[in-house]
Chains A and B, each alone.
Chain A
Amino acid sequence: MPDLDDQVRNAGVRILRLCKDLSEFILSGQARKTYLYETEIFLKHIKKSLKAIDKFIRRSINKKMAPPLAKAKLKELDLIREVLSWLYTFVKEAIDADTLSIPYSLTIFLNHTATELQKPDKVSLVVLGSSDLMYYKYNLTRLRDLTKKLKKDVIQNYPVLPENIGILKFPYSSAQEALVNCILFHEMGHYIYEKTGLQRDFYNSINDNLRAFIQDNKIIEKLKPKDPDLACNKLFIYVGGLMLSWGDEMFADIFAIRVLGSAFHSACLEMEQILSTDIKRNKTFSRTHPADDFRFKVHAKWLSDGGWDEIIKKRTPLIFDRLKDCETLRFKNKDFSISCEPPLGESDESKDLKEKLHTWMFKEFGQMVIRIEEELSTKLEDFENPINDFKKNDSLVTACLEHGIVPSTVYNEKKERCHPRPTTILNSGFFFYLGGMVELLKKVEVKRGVSRIDKRMNYEKRLNQWLAKAIEDWQILLEEGKL
């Protein structure tokens, strides 16, 4: 067994090697690639972190240490190791996320929108490819706290992870998609939710109300657990965990509908088709997500409030019908269920309590959704409804797409030049994808041997490219002051 001083030296050298390997990996990976400004900031943060760690360890392991100091140093190295393991998980994904490997124009627009909403703060949303066939916002709270602790207790010049950085992930194979990546608006919603502080309020109110529920229903008296405190804690974790996750999801959904419009709902349906054909899932709340049909019930309400109803009915009647079906669903009619089992034991008594608990959770969750809706109505009061620009430009964008043209400059009946907003490009693009491709394909002549399926797939890809280009053009026009 090496003495403490050697242990510090060995551990330090190992960490130094890891830092060096990571730095070299970043350098070699970055060669000839171009990154989004936000990704560059993130990579810069990682590089600065590695440099600070390297410098600290070189200084630390260079001198002989007395055992108490060596012990303390080992603890410091543990903290460094923990931070490094977090950074490690991001290095490869960040290096891979050059502008050709992410939905580039959509990401710029997301950052533009988030910054508009969070003014005067500047938002840096970093979009990374994920190896899951899922979209999500990465929770950076733990890493942020660790970097603060490292700076406070160990490395004084350690760069704390900036508060305004958010990490969103998308399935890496969808980089060239404009339409299905509309889900990123939902992920941006999670970022905005994190900044509202609403989760803390919900946490407190869930705890208070659950305490009352436990007392009113005499749960402890009825179940007689060996350790009542532990049983209560487990119940708090179960209820709090589920409801806070559901609340987070609902905020992000409503946010995306309000900020983007019907394209977000269409993207959810598209994603639903990729992930599952199990229709039972639609009415079941999971550990992390509300049931799809509940989400769509809320989508229906917000789409209707936003003025999308008639348009959806006319352009995509099947989607309209499903939305209307979802609108009729009610908690009180037991239209929804929860897929998880609460920690209430297996006795006959507990069966009844489980049902009561889930009914109560749904009731509370209904209140949460109302509170979320109020919060979003206030927050987005001044944010322009995307339907206004859509109504002005939709037919012009659709005409462009029918003729295989990027819809970034269109002329209206008065021969005035217009530039549809990215939200309109995405909404019109989605309606076109769902119901208008036939018009485009009629104009396409392909060589003999190309099947109809290949023709359709090629032009779905083209459609996504045109929409992405139109959004990129809008950014250029904005930057050049031409809007």
Chain B
Amino acid sequence: MSVLSRKEIKDRLEKPLTDFKSIVITPLLGDTFDHDSIDLRLGCYFRVPAVSTIECVKPYQGTVEHYPELVHKPYSRGIKEGVKKGAKEREGDNAESTIILQPHHAVLASTLEYIKMPGDVSGQILTKSSWARIFISIASAPWIHPFYRGCLTLEVSNLGNVPVALPVGKPMAQLVFIKLEGQIKLEKDVIEGSYAGAVMPEAPKFKA
């Protein structure tokens, strides 16, 4: 098992999509590459476990389409637009587009970047260390399979004792690419799985 370096990640980004080794990361907003990983930003869509009228979530007994509840925090409401378009009108608003995460609460988020994994590489998603230092933790299902594509779903938890504002569009996670060892048979591009191609965190789809 080996970890892809920055150079290898960049080389693979430029490969044609027909090459099973190609990687896709879009949009790329500046130099987000580390030596052995890439930073991923917080996307604009969230699923919030809001107080609900749902009596009880019963997995495998029909999909609960509206739990957790979908929330959108547009990127364009970020600092620039807030200042440019009407700082006055937005008094009391946060200048940034954020979602507040209360202590010991969790929210489903997704990366702003849409990813396509190569056929010979798995991925692991990690919390960026600065966020970990204020007790924000990302992901309880951090493993990404070869050929997966979509915006990555992040389960963001606040393990601390104070509310934390999560800013849309800011780096929160790192993706590490891990090359598979042995003979690779995944040369034919395959799209599979209920959440393949998702652009936002989706409600769970339990299948018996």
Contacts and interface: CB of A to CB of B under 8 A. Distances in A.
Contacts of B89: 40-41, 44
A314 interface: no
Contact of A99 (B72, B81, B86, B169): B72
A273 B112 CA distance: 35
B24 A37 contact: no
A159 to B, nearest CB: 13
A100 B74 CA distance: 10
A364 to B, nearest CB: 44
Interface string B61-101: 00000000011111111101100011001000000000000
Contacts of A34: 71-74, 77
Nearest to A441: B191
B116 interface: yes
A465 B199 contact: yes
A182 to B, nearest CB: 19
A400 interface: yes
Contacts of B182: none
A447 interface: yes
Given A34-B77, A405-B24, A444 B29 contact: no
B202 to A, nearest CB: 10
Contact residues on A (Cβ < 8 Å of other chain), bracket: 35 or more
A98 B17 contact: no
Contacts of B16: 399, 411
A168 interface: no
A477 B70 contact: no
Interface string A360-403: 00000000000000000000000000000000000000011011
B181 interface: no
A158 B86 CA distance: 21
Given A479-B80, A480-B29, A482-B29, A406 B199 contact: yes
A443 B207 CA distance: 22
B196 interface: yes
Interface in A444-473: 444-447, 459, 462, 465-466, 468-469, 472-473
B76 A417 contact: no
5 contacts: A34-B73, A405-B114, A409-B24, A445-B190, A476-B27
A4 to B, nearest CB: 41
A400 B18 CA distance: 10
Nearest to B97: A34
Given A32-B50, A408-B27, 7 more contacts: A34-B73, A411-B16, A444-B191, A445-B191, A475-B76, A476-B112, A482-B29
Given A415-B14, A443-B190, A98 B86 contact: no
